Structure 1
Amino acid sequence: MSSDSLVADQTDHAGDEIAVTAAGALPWRLNSSDKDQLEVLLIHRPRYDDWSWPKGKLDPGETIPECATREVAEEIGLSAPLGIPLPPIHYHVPAGLKIVHYWAVRVNGAMLVPDGQEVDSVMWCSPEKAARLLTNPSDVGPLEHLVSAHARGELETWPLVIVRHAKAKPRSSWTKAEGDRPLAATGMRQAQAVGRLLQAWKPLRIVSSPWLRCVATIAPYAKASDAKVKLDDALTEHRHGRRPHKTAAVVEGLFDKQRAVALCTHRPALPTVFAQLGEHMGSRLRGLLPDTDPFLAPGEIVVCHVAHGSKEKIVAVERFRPFDD
């Protein structure tokens, strides 16, 4: 598992080993009477008598985004896609150094139901009030980044997810059509893990190469979510090799609807995919896209957060490897 967020932690903990990893989110909304007024949600935990953000520790075998979405669902009853990544915070607990990864999560009129045990009440308030009420001073850092992103028009985003298909059976042991080469046993487990991880962003559209190893990679998520799947020959290895501009056009077309979408393709097509995505981001972010072969490991994903209302603006990128054995 790996997470490469484009938000860097500024605290110096050089040499400190992380003892506890946790994840959560900063729920936010725009005031119903004043759409420019940002509000955030604080939770109260009776066990500690504190005000904080929904968060919790990583379960065994769980990725960090999965942990964040699970904890938000458990603590306040909200099932919503993760938005932009926010700066992680570090602080010491009895076990040692603790890191908490945060994302912004928009609440669009959903009814929130605190679990009653870990969270006994919630409060919507202005960011200024939240900064005063937060018990842990470190929790102010992610809040400041969220407020700054809102001011820049980079808080309201939708996710564009790139997936490299999971591990396939070796070419050397396959004598039939290349498009029919299936996933290996490891690849089938990776596909299940990809399906769980994609739930963190909930894409309702999937564009994929029609070759079996890509279709099998996205199948668990598609079945679990009822996502609409479109198969496009331009994403196959062979078609990309002959007409890479057609592959680039498919990537460009993902921006048209400005809705959450995932694309699944093959290693040889990834340079073209990332080059096209690079046209929609500044040089700093572009420099963080994978740029050397094999670009992504089998089953690995890149999440691009695209600002709403701007086809030209990817404002954050993340990278995750959900399963490896």
Structure 2
Amino acid sequence: MTELPVSAEQREASSTAAPTPVPRVLAAGALCWRVRKKQLWVLLIHRPRYDDWSWPKGKQDPGETIPETAVREVREEIGVTVSLGIPLPTLDYRISSGLKRVYYWAAELEEQKPRPDGKEVDEVLWCTAEQARELLSNPSDVEPLDALIEAHRRKELRTWALLVLRHAKAKPRSSWTRAEGDRPLAATGQRQAAAVKRLLMAWRPDRVVSSPWARCLATVSPYVKATKAKVKLSESLTEASHERKPRRSQSTVEGLFDKGRSVVLCTHRPILPSAFKQLASHMSSRLRTTLPTEDPYLAAGEILVCQVSGERVVSVEQFRPFED
């Protein structure tokens, strides 16, 4: 079963709103944007099948998460590889089979030149946000555009991703007699690590900060090998160090904000409350309420995704890698 993304807004709304129907079709895409002379520009696509102007998007394929869908669809339709930014409003449509839900993210696009695939898309157009509002064929497509414009107005559109990853499933403690730091991933955890690699590609962090214990290293290894991301090992992220000096773990989390570049931190379940406490100091009171508060905080292989503007966390999401 595919896990749906959970944003701060969705988690807050779910506590008060009536349950929404389960979507029969899931899709995802991105609003590609850039700034020229302080003016926000966005990329529209023309679909010959419908003769309309819209955003790059498409249906989820079996075996992929929604963020993977968004990145893949943008690559297939306009030939560019994006890294996801802040989440934008999700749109629901009624179709013949039931409810269709489309997830959107912002994605800054600077140097790559978009090219239509010639099948699904026959034309691309950079235009101002105001022009896009007039050109969009589906009135509901204006909703994510308005959110994009508002984020730009607040100077919260250009962000970097800070991802907190709990290591994949390890062999049980009860069956391991050697050093705790050497306890490896279980067979399920090895499959999760491969799925974590694919999921991380949606943000493509170029830095990895990890506990040096075997199960954390094995979780991030597939991603590091695929991307050549720089790895920094921190003893403060181990269970043993955190038990003695939890403030060191929090200092390591705080240090992630220093460079202002996308980074994934891989650690253990007992460290997560301290990590989230430190992250909370960079959040609004509303966002703080959306952080996990109950043990186990994150499932094995699950990722908390924070988008950071400067040193302020402006969005929070959670994703689990797809498990076959």
TM-score range, shorter chain: over 0.9
The residue aligned with 1:250 is 252
Instruction: Give CA deviations for 1:99-130 in whole Å, capped at 9, x if unaligned.
Output: 10000000112111111111100111111111
Residues 1:180 and 2:182 aligned together:
yes
Residues 1:306 and 2:308 aligned together:
yes
2-structure distance, mates of 1:14, 1:278: 28
The residue aligned with 1:319 is 318
Letter in 2 for 1:214: C
Residues 1:189 and 2:195 aligned together:
no
Q: How does 1:162-241 map to 2 (within 5 A)?
A: 162-241=164-243
Which stretch shifts more, 127-136 or 195-204? 127-136
Note the residue ranges of structure 1 that are not aligned, 5 or more in a row: none
The residue aligned with 1:29 is 34
2-structure distance, mates of 1:107, 1:114: 15
Which stretch shifts more, 169-178 or 14-23? 14-23
Runs of 4+ residues over 6 Å off in structure 1: none
The residue aligned with 1:117 is 119
**8 Å contact kept, 1:299–1:323:** no
**8 Å contact kept, 2:41–2:126:** yes
SS at match of 1:113: coil
2-structure distance, mates of 1:324, 1:298: 11
The residue aligned with 1:50 is 52
Residues 1:69 and 2:71 aligned together:
yes
1-structure distance, mates of 2:308, 2:203: 13
Letter in 2 for 1:228: K
2-structure distance, mates of 1:64, 1:254: 26
**8 Å contact kept, 2:191–2:323:** no
1-structure distance, mates of 2:263, 2:285: 23
Residues 1:130 and 2:135 aligned together:
no
How far 1:14 sits from its partner (Å)? 5.3
2-structure distance, mates of 1:17, 1:190: 26
2-structure distance, mates of 1:72, 1:112: 9
How far 1:207 sits from its partner (Å)? 0.3
Change in 2 beyond 3 A, CA 1:130/1:7: farther
The residue aligned with 1:6 is 8
How far 1:323 sits from its partner (Å)? 3.4
How far 1:8 sits from its partner (Å)? 4.2
Note the residue ranges of structure 2 that are not aligned, 5 or more in a row: none
The residue aligned with 2:269 is 267
Using structure 2 for the length normalisation, give the TM-score: 0.96
How far 1:92 sits from its partner (Å)? 1.3
SS at match of 1:18: coil
SS at match of 1:288: coil
The alignment-based identity, stated in percent, is 61
1-structure distance, mates of 2:94, 2:159: 33
Letter in 1 for 2:30: A
The residue aligned with 1:156 is 158
**8 Å contact kept, 1:7–1:86:** no
How far 1:15 sits from its partner (Å)? 5.2
1-structure distance, mates of 2:122, 2:4: 34
2-structure distance, mates of 1:167, 1:147: 41
Letter in 2 for 1:320: F
